[in-house]
Amino acid sequence: MNTRLLPLYATLLICIVAYAVCVFQFPMMFSTRVAGNLLTDNAFLGIAAVGMTFVILSGGIDLSVGSMIAFTGVLLAVLITHYGIHPLVAFAIALLITTTFGAVMGAIIHYLEVPAFIVTLAGMFLARGMCFVMTTDSIPINHEFYSYLQGSYYLLPGGGRLTFIGCLMLIVFAVGIVLAHFSKFGSYIYAVGGNRTSAELMGVPVAKTTIGIYALSGFLSGLAGIVFSLYTSAGYSLAAVGVELDTIAAVVIGGTLLTGGVGYVAGTFIGVVIQGIIQTYIVFDGTLSSWWTKIVVGVLLFSFIALQRVLVLLSSKRTMAFRSR
Amino acid sequence: MSLLNVKVLTKAMPQLLSLLLILFLNYLAFPGFFDIRLQDGRLFGSLIDVLNRGAPVIILAIGMTAVIASRGVDLSVGAVMAVSGALAATMTVAGYPLPIVILATLGAGLLCGLWNGILVAYFDLQPIVATLILMVAGRGIAQLITEGSIVTFNEPSLIFFGTGSFAGIPMPILIAALLLIIAITVVRRTALGLLIESIGINRSASSYAGLNSKLLLLVIYAFCGFCAALAGIIIAADIRGADANNAGLWLELDAILAVVVGGTSLFGGRFSILMSALGAIIIQAMNTGILLSGFPPEYNLILKALVIIVILLSQSFSSAGGWTFIKAEFLSKGRKRH
């Protein structure tokens, strides 16, 4: 059996068991309404997590995601509400800025050879600071185009609503899967994450790939920001604090190795869904506080990291046994 | 000896100059910046305030320096601060005497550090990953302790740690200075500092040389947890309460920034605890300066980001390696593909 797939199976199993336990306790959770809401509520998290998956697959990390979401939200609110720009134009401007921002971070990481961790930390401060410079208030967005997007949904059998942003997340995941597993760029990412030096020697354009990865992460953070702004109909500079941790947790729970090179975009989707299930369970229960989410996610993080560690040890033993044969 | 001091001073020149520049800018923005007065047996003034507010980050930076020198990083210090603050406040409210509260809180910090250390040293996890777990779960644990509310207390003996003073010097400064002296003495008067550096430069070589690198890593992370707990007590005592959500929020980043500003490389190896403390003071001086000059405190984040970028650039270009790399990438692109 392929040990690389084992974390993914484990995640899937936990997801199914968790959902079964929830349904056993609250039969109402087995409905398309809950499923639809789960997709809608976690749409921004999922979209950002796809970008984070690529970054982590390449062996890096992007701490600027949460700030970028807040930045996009505030920028959209300022452009639409204060300057009367059409949302579509504002979307384009926001995506352009966040993509460039990501690309610049990628360039710094590659050319100056500094850890991704500290560069994206600077990016995190900078993006959050730019929010505050634009405004410290929460700006509401009232635009008919927003209402139109918010009101458009596909009615699932059973009364559930597959909203526009939920749909968008599913599309992003589908594109992410194609990009990761069926494109040249995707195989470059795996190569760089597996071993940068040998990737470079094999002729992988490491510079272009690194910049591309962080640009993609910036673009998806921007998209997540747009979704978040559609979700909340407002821009607030203190929004989405700590989302980078949630996305990293989703990626790791989804079975991606934090050392890079191993993982699946589909796993991240399950990671996001598991977090969503925990939150929904807490809402249904009513007596538990939301901080249980953090503890459960922490425990899951630990179990998956430990599982990966064991698998890596096992496979390295197997290679050694193979070599000594 | 004097030669050595000159050497040390030249090395610390960029940091000292930037501190002087920031202090001077503060003076321009607020002419009374350098005034220090003695009132009710305690020193007051903006300079004292910089040190006083900077004390928690100085304490965190002391522990973080050891961790970063061993080629690691501890992301959980902010969460550990929240845990220890929550524990101190809850136990005080429950009526435990002060020595027990302090011991239990510091013990909890040590335990958190030990957990990180076990993951890094014995499970061989990357430090970022290992400490991420506690960073996520720690605030949840803190809220478990305070049961989701902000616990406030009015116990004068605990509050003394945050706002009291001894011989005119505020307690936080005193605690930070004491810890600084002890840490520097232990690290530089014994072989410990050398051993930490050797782990940071090459862990497996150090192990082959007979160093018990696992135990040493464990001690380093436990010490970092201890420092975080100490900082957590000071912050809780200062605001007379424990806020599990916001206590120590983003302070791990400030601590890392302080260490980097102090010149310790994120790739491990040579370190200076004193310089990290200087880094923390520089950050706090920036903070205070922005507040004094009337800008919204949020501008601080942009300033911090710029500081990181400038340091990264200077580190990258000052090392010859950076130049060679840039040259190889840009100037001899054609020659490379022969």
Whether the per-residue pLDDT at A174 is higher than 80: the answer is: yes
Distance CA B289, CA B19 (A): 11
A186 vs B149: which has the higher pLDDT: A186
**Quick one: average pLDDT of A176-194?**
90
Q: CB distance from B312 to chain A under 8 Å?
A: yes
**Quick one: average pLDDT of B326-332?**
52
pLDDT band per the 50, 70, 90 thresholds, residue B335 = very low
* Residue B62 to chain A, least CA–CA distance (Å): 19
pLDDT band per the 50, 70, 90 thresholds, residue B224 = very high
Whether the per-residue pLDDT at B235 is higher than 70: the answer is: yes
Query: Which residue bears the tokens 């635009």?
Result: A143
Q: What is the pLDDT of residues B124-134, one digit of tens each?
A: 888 887 888 88
Element (H, E) at A124: helix A116-134
Q: Identify whether A137 is part of a domain.
A: yes
pLDDT band per the 50, 70, 90 thresholds, residue B1 = very low
Q: Identify whether A94 is part of a domain.
A: yes
Residue contact A133–B322, C-beta within 8 A: no
**Quick one: average pLDDT of B17-44?**
79
**Quick one: average pLDDT of A168-196?**
90
Q: CB distance from B316 to chain A under 8 Å?
A: yes
Residue in chain A closest to B252 (alpha carbons) equals: A121
pLDDT of residue B65: 93
CATH of the domain at A108: 1.10.3470
Q: Identify whether A325 is part of a domain.
A: no
Rg (CA), chain A: 20
Whether the per-residue pLDDT at B3 is higher than 60: the answer is: no
Q: What is the pLDDT of residues B160-195, one digit of tens each?
A: 887 877 878 888 899 999 999 999 999 888 888 888
Structure tokens at A23: 């349904």
Q: Residue B285 burial (CB < 10 Å; 0-12/13-18/19+)?
A: buried
Whether the per-residue pLDDT at A318 is higher than 70: the answer is: no
Q: What is the pLDDT of residues A83-93, one digit of tens each?
A: 888 888 999 99
* Count of domains observed in chain A: 1
Give residue ranges of A with CB < 8 Å to any B CB: 61, 108, 111-115, 117-119, 121-126, 128-133, 136, 207, 237, 245, 248-249, 252, 258-259, 289, 291-295, 297-299, 301-302, 305-306, 309
Which of B282, B277, B289 has the alpha carbon at shortest distance from B46? B289
Residue contact B125–A252, C-beta within 8 A: no
Which of A145, A153, A172 has the alpha carbon at shortest distance from A91? A145
pLDDT of residue B98: 87
Q: Which of B308, B314, B325 to mutate to test the interface with A (most CBs of A within 10 A)?
A: B308
Residue contact A125–B308, C-beta within 8 A: yes
* Residue B248 to chain A, least CA–CA distance (Å): 14
Query: Which residue bears the tokens 């949630």?
Result: A246
Contacts of B319 (CB under 8 A, 6+ apart): none
Q: Identify whether A181 is part of a domain.
A: yes
Q: Identify whether A141 is part of a domain.
A: yes
Contacts of A160 (CB under 8 A, 6+ apart): A31, A32, A33, A34, A35, A36, A37
Whether the per-residue pLDDT at A97 is higher than 90: the answer is: yes
pLDDT of residue B105: 93
Considering only CB atoms, which chain B residues are within 8 Å of A292?
140
Contacts of B28 (CB under 8 A, 6+ apart): none
DSSP E strands in chain A: the ranges are: 139-140, 153-155, 161-163, 234-235
Q: What is the pLDDT of residues B50-92, one digit of tens each?
A: 888 889 999 999 999 999 999 888 888 989 999 999 999 888 8
pLDDT band per the 50, 70, 90 thresholds, residue B223 = very high
The distance from CA B243 to its chain's CA centroid, rounded to whole angstroms, is 20
Q: Identify whether A324 is part of a domain.
A: no
Mean pLDDT of chain A: 85
Considering only CB atoms, which chain A residues are within 8 Å of B128?
61, 117, 258
C-alpha pair distances (Å), A17 with each of A13, A14, A277, A278, B82: 6, 5, 11, 12, 33
Q: Identify whether A136 is part of a domain.
A: yes
Mean pLDDT of chain B: 82
Residue in chain B closest to A61 (alpha carbons) equals: B128
**Quick one: average pLDDT of A108-115?**
84
A120 vs B248: which has the higher pLDDT: A120
Q: Identify whether A207 is part of a domain.
A: yes
Whether the per-residue pLDDT at B300 is higher than 90: the answer is: no
Distance CA B96, CA B91 (A): 6
Cβ pair A7, A304 in contact under 8 A: yes
Query: Which residue bears the tokens 């597993």?
Result: A181
Cβ pair A189, A39 in contact under 8 A: no
Give the ipTM of the model, two decimals please: 0.74
Distance CA B191, CA B186 (A): 9
A136: domain range?
3-319
Q: What is the pLDDT of residues A1-46, one digit of tens each?
A: 566 777 788 888 888 888 888 888 888 878 888 888 888 889 999 9
Lowest mean pLDDT among A126-130, A180-184, B30-34, B194-198: B30-34
Q: What is the pLDDT of residues A149-163, one digit of tens each?
A: 887 778 777 777 888
Size of interface A-B (CB pairs under 8 A): 125
Residue contact A61–B128, C-beta within 8 A: yes
Residue contact A298–B299, C-beta within 8 A: no
> How many CA atoms, within 13 angstroms, populate the side-chain half-sphere of residue A268?
34
pTM of the model: 0.81
Residue contact A291–B296, C-beta within 8 A: no
Please tell me which of the candidates A132, A259, A295 has its beta carbon nearest to residue B296: A132
Say if strands B169-170 and A161-163 run parallel, antiparallel, or are unpaired: unpaired
pLDDT of residue B334: 44
